[in-house]
Amino acid sequence: MTSAVSPLAVAMPALPPLAGVRLNAAAAGIRYQGRTDLVMIEVPEGSTVAGVFTSNKCPGAPIDWCREALKGGKARLVVVNAGNANVFTGKAGRDATAATAEAAAKLAGCAASEVFVASTGVIGEVLPHEKLVAALPALHAGLHANGWQEAARGIMTTDTFPKASTRVAKIGGKPVRITGIAKGSGMIAPDMATMLCFVFTDAAIPADQLQKLLKKGVEPSFNCTTVDSDTSTSDTVMLIATGQAGNPEGSLSDFGKKLNAVLMDLALQVVRDGEGAQKLVKIDVTGAVSAKSAKKIAMCIANSPLVKTAIAGEDANWGRIVMAVGKAGEPADRDKLSIGVGGVWMARDGGVVPGYDETPVVAHMKGREIDMTVDIGLGQGKATVWTCDLTHGYIDINGSYRS
């Protein structure tokens, strides 16, 4: 399938142990050969949990399971398999998820409702959960504090590099760490969340506050990215707090800021690994009638196949941007529209800027990171979204994946 690493890849940061968190990965042979495809992450008793999940109306069985389990607000284990999404698998799918959670719970000595199960990969094939359950005891026995990289690799599907991010925040003067891993490359247009992303912290934060922070944090990060406009059936972002840092209660504003930085970092790593991506594209929309309107316009530009192929062709084709603004259905006045690329206004007030010199724009389009600015000229609403270009690589990967 994919072999070359994305040209937009970033190196995985060093991830120090996070008090109370132990990880491990194994090759259960569910779909892939010669690589890990099953990951377990254990957190200590008393850990609180928050989660946001896909808004796709045909979610996978693990999403249903996690939504239910989340009601308890407590977590002890996360079990993730890659290669089979366990989506559209009916009763067999529900049984597979339950059997996995129950087998894992026995190993950890906890309730099945404290086990969060996630699956990613092919849709519509029954998950051979016997293989998965059989691999759990050794996986559990081998849990260790330095398994972050193994875990980040074990959840990959068409990803070409492992994705991780870490920050230190302070609560009540006490430093706490936030570390997250994510996977995702295609079927990326998160609506409530994204593909799979697991963030851990040693901070002590009650589940309801954790949930509020997470919901807020995914908005400007994962929910403002798109690779191909296709919202996955398995999108999951979870945040688990172990409480091991021993922080006092206190303002969570620094924690929220750092959490958002981790989420943004991971979301952009997913876009950087967009299937076939050669360029990372940032789209700023300003001057819309509202923030919601700005985001809709920005997403419409980001999802336009004609804009994305133009970027792949290194063509600063403002005509296609105009088209995408207009098709969004949001208030827009052609004659007040301005479009800039790489910090240079190409078009303003409904026409080409007089004496427009294409040279710096052409140079910018040849780079790996493309900045576009669209000013609607009507109000104060603004939004920023990220996407990648649409290349032959995307067709290669998706004309053959599965089958």
* C-alpha dihedral (369, 375, 381, 385), degrees to nearest 10: -20
Q: Does 273 bind a copy of itself (CB under 8 A)?
A: no
163, 157, 156: which is closest to 182 by C-alpha? 163
Residues 28-67 as x/- pattern, contact with a copy of itself by CB under 8 A: ---------------------------xxxxx--------
CA atoms within 13 A on the CB side of 187: 22
| Minimum distance of a copy of itself from residue 284's CB (angstroms) | 18
378 three-class SS:
coil
| Residue 391 falls in the annotated catalytic set | no
Q: Does 168 bind a copy of itself (CB under 8 A)?
A: no
Question: What size, in residues, is the chain?
Answer: 403
Q: Which of 20, 62, 180, 186 binds a copy of itself (CB under 8 A)?
A: 186
Task: Kindly indicate which of the ranges 10-18, 89-97, 216-224, 284-292 contains the residues binding a copy of itself, using the contact rule CB under 8 A.
Answer: 89-97
Q: Which two tokens stand for residue 36?
A: 């890990």
**DSSP structural state of residue 296:** H
Identify each DSSP E strand in 127-230 by its residue range. Answer: 163-171, 174-183, 196-201
Q: Which of 218, 328, 344, 361 binds a copy of itself (CB under 8 A)?
A: 328
127 three-class SS:
coil
Q: In what order do the strands lie in the sheet with 369-375?
A: 351-352, 344-348, 338-341, 369-375, 280-288, 381-388
| Minimum distance of a copy of itself from residue 402's CB (angstroms) | 5
Task: Kindly indicate which of the ranges 105-113, 199-207, 215-223, 319-327 contains the residues binding a copy of itself, using the contact rule CB under 8 A.
Answer: 319-327
Of 197-256, binders to a copy of itself (CB under 8 A) are: 228-233
Q: Which of 324, 344, 361, 370 binds a copy of itself (CB under 8 A)?
A: 324
Q: Does 91 bind a copy of itself (CB under 8 A)?
A: yes
* C-alpha dihedral (54, 56, 58, 62), degrees to nearest 10: 0
Q: Does 402 bind a copy of itself (CB under 8 A)?
A: yes
Distance of CA 45 to the CA centre of its chain: 27
Which of 194, 201, 226, 387 is an active site residue? 194
Q: Does 87 bind a copy of itself (CB under 8 A)?
A: yes
Q: Does 298 bind a copy of itself (CB under 8 A)?
A: no
CB 215: neighbour CB atoms within 10 A? Answer: 17
Annotated catalytic residues are 194
Site residues, a copy of itself (CB under 8 A): 55-59, 85, 87-93, 122-126, 186-187, 189, 191, 228-233, 303-306, 309-310, 312-313, 315, 317-320, 322-332, 334-335, 337, 347, 349-352, 390-392, 394-395, 398-400, 402-403
